[in-house]
Amino acid sequence: MKTHSARSFLLVALCAAAISVLVYSKLQAQSPKAQAQTLSHGSEPFVPTRIDWLTTTLQASLRTNATETAGYDLEITSPDSETILIYVRYLPTVNRQAMNITIDAARKVIDMTAKSYGWDSWLKVREDIQLAKTR
């Protein structure tokens, strides 16, 4: 009897393993298009470009919304695939010294960050600094 039980157990285990392998292979055989259709647009995989990554990193760390306190805003953007743009808009009442210190610091952080990734050889940095248009 013990031999019969062991064989039955082995047979059930082998059947379960075979079914698991078949189900797994069926799931793996689905085309990437079929898998992508099950994802919402917001959850689809995306690999950013170097400039996308650098812009996002720099914007997160350097963005300054100091219109109320110092009279200027500083944003980081990328107008093309090789350029970081320091975008500044200021009010006539701006504290120019504070604004210039912030812009200089932003340039230094951009240079250090680009060097840390090894991207300083191709990266260009530009500035667009203008008086803000009042409404």
Angle, CA 60 vertex, CA 36 and CA 44 arms, to 5°: 0
Same domain, 37 and 76: no
Copy the structure tokens of residue 94: 């701006």
| Summary count for the chain: helices (H), strands (E) | 4, 4
Q: By the 8 A CB rule, do 58 and 110 touch? A: yes
Same domain, 16 and 58: no
Give the per-residue pLDDT at 19. Answer: 63
Give the per-residue pLDDT at 20. Answer: 59
- Domain residue limits at 38: 2-43
- Confidence (pTM): 0.68
Same domain, 117 and 71: yes
Same domain, 33 and 58: no
Q: By the 8 A CB rule, do 87 and 74 touch? A: yes
13: how many CB neighbours lie within 10 A of its CB?
Answer: 10
Give the per-residue pLDDT at 38. Answer: 75
Q: By the 8 A CB rule, do 55 and 76 touch? A: yes
* pLDDT tens, the chain, 135 aa long: 555 565 665 565 555 555 655 555 565 555 555 555 677 888 888 889 999 999 999 999 999 888 888 899 999 999 999 999 999 999 999 989 989 999 999 999 999 999 999 999 999 999 999 999 876
